[in-house]
Amino acid sequence: MDTSRGSACSPLNSGKRLLDKLLTAVFCLGLCGCSSTAIEQSSALKGTALSYFGVYARRSDFEKLMSFYAPDAVLEDIVYGNVATGKTEIRKFLDWNRGTFSIPDAGLALVVKDQKITGNTVITRGTFNPFEYNGKAMGPWEFVIWQEFDDARQIVHQEDWINYTPKQILIGE
């Protein structure tokens, strides 16, 4: 009887076990690599989103703000029902040179309170601080901005959910 074929100590079984361990190690490293790549992408997207809202908050470099949008991006203002398609329309919609805009004490235009990132989606919640537009006091306005980014981390779709309504007009506060 040949005991070397089925024996746990046979060279054939030792080689198979080694191959199994090697394949398991490669698989585990692959999983780690995938999750590492996902973490790196999420971290890079978080940096892009923070930069976008930092530029928006300072409201001093409109060209930099526009650089975050892909050429064929779509921006939707859900409350008013406006849709801007492409950078030219988005530029007209956001136009920082239209009207007279000022923030008390030269502060920030907005504050980010919370941000969630999943895949290529960034959801940001915050407040537009009180400001003056064409001599009229406005804000504060709560907002949720939902952004979809492409692989180059440019905005391809944005939904603005902004509570524009002045509370004083509706309920006297």
pLDDT at 41: 63
- Classify residue 169 as left (phi > 0), alpha (psi -120 to 50) or beta: alpha
DSSP class of 5? T
pLDDT at 145: 99
pLDDT tens digits, one per residue of 2-35? 555 555 555 556 556 655 655 555 555 455 554 4
pLDDT tens digits, one per residue of 130-150? 999 999 888 999 999 999 999
pLDDT at 106: 77
pLDDT at 35: 46
pLDDT at 165: 74
| Domains of the chain by start residue, with CATH | 11-171 (3.10.450.50)
pLDDT at 75: 99
Please give the Cα distance from 22 to 20 (Å, whole number). 5
pLDDT at 154: 98
Q: What angle do CA 171, 134, 139 make, to 5 degrees?
A: 35
Kind plus residue range of the DSSP H or E element containing 171: helix 167-171
DSSP class of 51? H
pLDDT at 104: 86
Let me know: does 74 contact 156? Beta carbons within 8 Å: yes
Residue whose pair of structure tokens reads 């989103």 in the numeric block: 49
What integer is the mean pLDDT of 45-65?
Answer: 97
Amino acid at 123: I
pLDDT tens digits, one per residue of 90-145? 999 999 999 999 998 879 999 999 999 999 999 999 999 999 999 988 899 999 99
Contacts 24+ apart (CB under 8 A), 105-109: 108/57, 108/58, 108/59, 109/56, 109/57, 109/58, 109/59
